[in-house]
Chain A
Amino acid sequence: MEKPKVTRDFDDKEFAGCAIFGMMNLEGKRFPSRDPVRAIANMHERGNGLGGGFAVYGIYPDFKDYYALHVMFLDRDAKEKTDRLLASGFEIIYDEEIQTKPALVYNPPLVWRYFISPNVKRLGIQSEDDYVREYVMRINTETGRAFVFSSGKNMGVFKGVGYPEDIAEYFCLEDYEGYIWTCHGRFPTNTPGWWGGAHPFSILDWTVVHNGELSSYGTNKRYLEMYGYKCTMQTDTEVLAYAFDLLMRRQRLPIEVVAEILAPPFWNEIDRAEPKKASMLRTLRQTYGSLLMNGPFSVIVAHEGEMIGLTDRIKLRPLVAGTNGEYLYISSEESAIRLVSPQLEGCWNPRGGEPVIGRVGEHIVPEKFLTMEATA
């Protein structure tokens, strides 16, 4: 499988027309792939079989202290270069090819998994996370034909070119259990054969699945490049992953604030708000205007212990949330949730720009969102 011959410039990006689904156990209990795969398969119509993927959290309990790298190689040379690069900066605890079995996927590349730990001597004053991030960017740019699918602890991304249910089959996802599963079915147009273009996109343990198109991609990309992120995946979703990493991990802003940065209210709404709030919102928007995500989007972002759903501020993409006991569901279409959980305690459409947040240990109070349910 070739990376596309003509490297088109940033404007020639993918369309993320698609389906997204997220399922989380709020007690942190791990569950198998059956429900998430059934749900994303139900939204088959929204994709065109040329992209599917999953992010799963809690899959490597025995290796949970190590960074789990999932890397895709387009040729042996790239693997050798990657192995050398990793060896120079990390202790490689264990590595192997990710198990696969025959399935309806197109031209699969080699996908490898490494459990690594940063070499303490080389660490210096950098945090471990930043250290890993730098190496990930290096693998993506220096080896030329190796790309990192995921680089977090006790989690992993499985993705490629095929319907999501076929990707799940290919990577034997029935063998894994996790407490958060996010899924994506894609409708790519630009580079249909490119495994790196499938969702989820991730950096460290941040993963993003995205439905929509960011018309602000050019601006977002150039802002993030100032902070050491390199956009190599030719897909606008990449900037969302990096934006979350920058704002939530490095700058330690809480999700409620991050939502106001990525999907801020209109100026006339800010002017109408109560003075203290207005001042905060104004400052956020003045500082982070280049991270405003313009264009339709609904995303599900996950990292250790949290799953977040968000849409753009004028809600141009669908998003539905549902809860039942310990489970939180976020989906592009309600029918997918109902398929795996016909009964729901709470079911609602989040407002544009307002995040749905699932955190381990916090149950979501259905009353807060309950609206008129079926009376019949």
Chain B
Amino acid sequence: MKSYLPAEYIVERDDEKCIRCKVCVNQCTYETHYYDEETDRVYSRDENCTNCQRCVVFCPTHAITIRKNPSAYRENAHWTTEVVKDIKKQAETGGVLLTGMGCDKPYFTYWDRLVLNASQVTNPSIDPLREPMEIRTYLGAKPDMLTAELEDGNLMLKTTLAPQLTLETPIMFSAISYGAVSLNVHEALARAAAECGTYFNTGEGGLHEKLFKYGNHAIVQVASGRFGVYSDYLNAGAAVEIKIGQGAKPGIGGHLPGEKVSAEIARTRMIPPGTDALSPAPQHDIYSIEDLRQLIYALKEATDYTKPVSVKIAAVHNVAAIASGMIRAGADIIAIDGVRGSTGAAPKVIRDNVGIPVELALASVDQRLREEGIRNRASIVVAGGIRSSSDVVKAIALGADAVYIATAALIAMGCTVCQKCYTGKCPWGITTTDPWIAKRLNPDIASQRLVNLLRGWSLEIKEMMGGMGINAIESLRGNRLHLRGVGLTETELRILGVKHAGD
């Protein structure tokens, strides 16, 4: 069937600058560039280009520019170019349209409509460069009260705290499965987490043996496919996370296309190589809230009650009631993933249409839990498009204990959000399991980039906190008085629990 689809991008090469070094030909995994010996020129197959920017970055003479194909369809606000192309593509394939990374539609990003406070006159700023500024956070269940007794003149605490995770900065690496990304990426995340005193999440693909040594900085995930789940895995991690859903594709399961199931992946996941690892949506032993409780306690029993159990859900309509149920079922940490969450592969229609923004979910969950008097019983972690340290500060002010980042971490390692992760040909060596491409990502350098990112954000967080006159992050948590909304409706302000700027 002839494809009616035009190329999305045009490769422009300045022939005068081109020195025929063929770096672009070698670096492109989509075979966009090719060299013709006879004419001694490099040409491009525009239709293969994904705008990953690899060739642009690596061309020594900056000869390449990637331009969006200007010959688009006639402008139409309803039948946009994207919609028209999607329909034609489905007509050609009869399949579900896949995509990667997070929702890219211009919905309200509420972080951009919230502004932060600073101290002026009535309350002093605190100087973070010279004075202590505490951003350490503990995740886990906290009791409502402590009992203490005097024994022989010494104060003895009678209550023991449930197991906690210690974060030196309120940012963790979100779940990215081994299979969606290469082992080098997992290793970089593990090392960076260890160096920065925080945690990375194994995602649903299990933990490779090589990385067990970073176990006490790992949150090990148990998803519906139960890939790589056995007692050593559970006991290796610092916490266990039950994945109910993720923001990029609420209500449906994980996708690892057969192309990416290499021999190593097959070994860790224990499925035949080359088969699709399509995790079903439901965990088949969780069909009701009491089943979730059953699994939470199964994991606590399996780890002898030494590790916090986290439950990760996508942000959906009645997320507040669900969160309440999860806490009553025994979860120590609740992770909420909003509509901007990213993924290695998801049906485009679900990624862009299902789920709610995490800012609203967070605000309503935090508020509901406080109304019910159970906010202490679990920590809240939010995920889904956290882009900067200011997003982190705003999230904590709304009520989160910590945040998970994934897209930002991948961008730090080289990703340019071209959304082609599912092909397994990521030229940056990130979302691929092809060993030849995967070795382009050097874990030493990648982990250094991640450490730099966390360090930069942590310093910025301290600056913003100091600016507000706060030197301990506990005083920022849920402190909505330090936020104001701009250009938000009354309903939005009510749900977020913030006033309008100027008010």
Do A and B contact each other directly (Cβ–Cβ < 8 Å)? yes
Most chain A CB neighbours (cut-off 10 Å) among B287, B288, B291, B324: B288
Per-residue CB contact flags for chain A residues 44-72 toward chain B (1 = under 8 Å, else 0) read 01111010000000000000000000000
Residue in B287, B293, B294, B324 whose beta carbon sits within 8 Å of that of A190 in the complex:
B324
Q: Is B209 an interface residue (CB 8 A)?
A: no
**Per-position contact with B for A186-227: 1 when CB-CB < 8 Å, else 0?**
010110100000000000000000011100000000000000
B324 x A18 contact (CB < 8 A): no
Which residues of A have CB within 8 Å of B328? 48, 50, 187, 189
Known: A45-B293, A187-B328, A192-B372. A15 touches B287 (CB 8 A): no
A236 to B324, CA, bound (A): 18
- Asked if A317 CB lies within 8 Å of chain B CBs, one says yes
Distance A226 CA – B324 CA, assembled complex (angstroms): 33
Q: Contact check, B288 vs A211: say whether CB atoms are below 8 A apart.
A: yes
* A residues near B329, Cβ cutoff 8 Å: 48, 187
Chain B residues with Cβ below 8 Å from A45 are: 290, 293-294
Known: A11-B317, A12-B321, A48-B328. A189 touches B287 (CB 8 A): no
- Whether B293 and A15, one on each chain, are in contact in the complex, defined by CB atoms closer than 8 angstroms, is no
Residues of B with C-beta under 8 A to A211 = 288, 290
CA distance A328 to B380 in the complex (A): 46
Residues in B with CB closer than 8 Å to A50 are 328
A121, B187: Cα distance in complex, Å: 83
Bits for A1-24, please: 1 = Cβ < 8 Å to B, else 0: 000000000011001111100000
Residue A296 interfacial (CB < 8 Å):
yes
User: A47 to chain B: which residues have CB within 8 Å?
Assistant: 290
Of all chain A residues, the one with the shortest Cβ separation from B289 is: A17
Q: Answer whether residue B273 sits at the interface, using C-beta atoms and an 8 A cutoff.
A: no
Are A17 and B288 closer than 8 Å at their CB atoms? yes
Instruction: Given A45-B293, A48-B328, answer yes or no on A189-B288 (Cβ-Cβ < 8 Å).
Output: no
Q: Whole-angstrom distance between the alpha carbons of A11 and B320 in the complex?
A: 12
For residue B373, which residue of chain A has the nearest CB? A192
In the bound complex, residues from chain A placing their C-beta under 8 Å from that of B318 are 11-12
CB distance from B328 to the nearest CB of A (A): 5
Does B290 contact A189, Cβ atoms closer than 8 Å?
A: no
Q: Mark B310-352, 1 if CB is under 8 A from A, else 0.
A: 0000000110011011001100000000000000000000000
- Measured between alpha carbons, how far is A45 from B325 in the docked complex, in Å? 14
CB <8 Å contact, A317 and B322: no
Most B CB contacts (10 A, CB to CB) among A16, A17, A50, A212 go to A17
In the bound assembly, the distance between CA atoms of A192 and B325 in angstroms comes to: 10
A177–B318 Cα distance when bound, in Å, is: 41
Interface of B is mostly: helix
Contacts of B288 in A (CB 8 A): 15-17, 211-213, 296, 316-317
B416-433 vs A, CB cutoff 8 Å, 1 = contact: the mask equals 000000000000000000
A18 surroundings in chain B (CB, below 8 A): 290
A190 with B321: CB separation less than 8 A: yes
Closest to B325 in A: A189
Question: Inside 8 A of A316's CB, which chain B residues have their CB?
Answer: 287-288
Would you call B322 and A189 a contact (CB within 8 A)?
Answer: yes
Number of interface residues of A (CB under 8 A): 22
A317 touches B324 (CB 8 A): no
Contact B289 A189 (CB under 8 A): yes
A187 and B325 contacting across the interface, CB-CB below 8 Å: yes
Please report the C-alpha to C-alpha distance between residue A189 and residue B372 in the assembled complex, in whole angstroms: 10
Judge whether A189 and B317 touch: CB under 8 Å: no
Segment 183-209 of B: residues with Cβ below 8 Å from A: none
Contacts of B290 in A (CB 8 A): 17-19, 45-47, 187, 211
Kindly list chain A residues whose C-beta atoms are within 8 Å of the C-beta of B322.
Answer: 189
When C-beta atoms are compared, the residue in chain A nearest to B284 turns out to be: A316
Number of B interface residues at 8 Å Cβ cutoff, please give it. Answer: 16
Question: Given the known A-B contacts A45-B293, A48-B328, are A296 and B321 also in contact in the complex, defined by CB atoms under 8 Å?
Answer: no
| Chain B contacts for A46, CB-based, 8 A | 290, 293
Is A189's CB under 8 angstroms from B324's CB?
yes
A contact residues around B317 at 8 Å (CB): 11
Q: Distance (Å) between the CB of A143 and the closest chain B CB?
A: 26
Given contacts A213-B288, A296-B287, A316-B287, contact A189 B321 (CB under 8 A): yes
The residue in chain B whose Cβ has the minimal distance to the Cβ of A297 is B288
Q: Produce 1/0 per residue, B259-294, CB < 8 A to A.
A: 000000000000000000000000000011111011
Query: Chain A's nearest CB lies how many Å from the CB of B164?
Result: 23
Instruction: Give the residue name and chain of the A residue nearest to B324 (CB).
Output: A189
B372–A317 touching, CB < 8 Å: no
CB contacts (< 8 Å) of B324 on chain A: these are 189-190
Tell me the bound Cα distance from A19 to B328 in angstroms. 16
Q: How near does chain A come to B144, taking the closest CB pair, in angstroms?
A: 16
Q: Of A45, A187, A192, which is in contact with the most chain B CB atoms at under 10 Å from its CB?
A: A187
| Chain A residue with the shortest CB-CB distance to B328 | A48
B372–A15 CB distance below 8 A? no
Query: Smallest Cβ distance from B392 to chain A, in angstroms?
Result: 29
Report the minimum CB–CB distance from B271 to chain A (whole Å). Answer: 25
> Which residue of chain B lies nearest to A332 when distances are taken between CB atoms in the complex?
B290
CB distance from A217 to the nearest CB of B (A): 12
Residues of B within 8 A of A16 (CB): 288
Using a CB-CB cutoff of 8 Å, which residues 302-349 of chain A contact chain B? 316-317
B245 to chain A, nearest CB (A): 15
Q: Shortest beta-carbon distance, B238 to chain A, in Å?
A: 27
How many angstroms between the C-alpha atoms of A211 and B293 in the bound complex? 14
Q: Is the beta-carbon distance between A17 and B321 smaller than 8 angstroms?
A: no
Give Cα A237 to B148, complex, Å. Answer: 45
> How far apart are the CA atoms of A98 and B47 in the complex, in Å?
78
CB distance from A299 to the nearest CB of B (A): 13
Give chain B residues whose Cβ lies under 8 Å from the Cβ of A213.
Answer: 288
Q: How far is the CA of A296 from the CA of B289 in the complex (A)?
A: 11
- Assembled-state Cα–Cα distance A331/B329 (Å): 21
Chain B residues whose C-beta falls within 8 Å of the C-beta of A192 in the assembled complex: 372
Distance in angstroms between the alpha carbons of A232 and B389 in the assembled complex: 46
Inter-chain CA distance A39–B287, complex, in Å, is 23
User: In the complex, what distance in Å separates the CA atom of A316 from the CA atom of B293?
Assistant: 16
Rounded to whole Å, the gap between the CB of A44 and the closest CB of chain B is: 11
Give the CA-CA distance A190 to B322 in the complex, in Å.
8
What CA separation (Å) do A317 and B291 show in the bound complex? Answer: 10
The CA of A17 and the CA of B288, in the complex, are separated in Å by 6
A211 to B318, CA, bound (A): 19
- Min CB distance B113 to A, Å, is 25
- In the bound complex, residues from chain B placing their C-beta under 8 Å from that of A15 are 288-289, 321, 325
Q: Which residues of B contact A48 (CB under 8 A)?
A: 293, 328-329
Residues from chain A with a CB closer than 8 A to the CB of B291 are: 17
Bound-state CA distance A11–B322 (Å) is 13
Would you list which residues of chain B between 360 and 413 have a CB under 8 Å from chain A?
372
Inter-chain contacts of A317 with B (CB < 8 A): 287-288
Closest-CB distance, B292 to chain A (whole angstroms): 8
Q: In the complex the two chains form, what is the Cα distance from A213 to B321 in whole Å? A: 13
Instruction: Check A17/B372 contact, CB under 8 A, given A45-B293, A296-B288, A317-B287.
Output: no
A210 CB to nearest chain B CB (Å): 11
Q: A17-B291, A187-B325, A316-B288 are in contact. List 11 more A-B contacts (CB 8 A).
A: A15-B325, A16-B288, A17-B289, A187-B293, A189-B324, A190-B321, A190-B324, A192-B372, A211-B288, A212-B288, A317-B287
The 5 closest A-B pairs by CB, nearest first: A17-B289, A189-B325, A17-B290, A316-B287, A189-B324
Chain B residues engaging chain A, CB cutoff 8 angstroms? 287-291, 293-294, 317-318, 321-322, 324-325, 328-329, 372
A-B contact pairs, 23 of them (CB 8 A): A11-B317, A12-B318, A15-B321, A17-B291, A17-B325, A45-B293, A46-B290, A48-B293, A48-B329, A187-B289, A187-B325, A187-B328, A189-B289, A189-B321, A189-B328, A190-B321, A211-B288, A212-B287, A213-B288, A296-B287, A296-B288, A316-B288, A317-B287
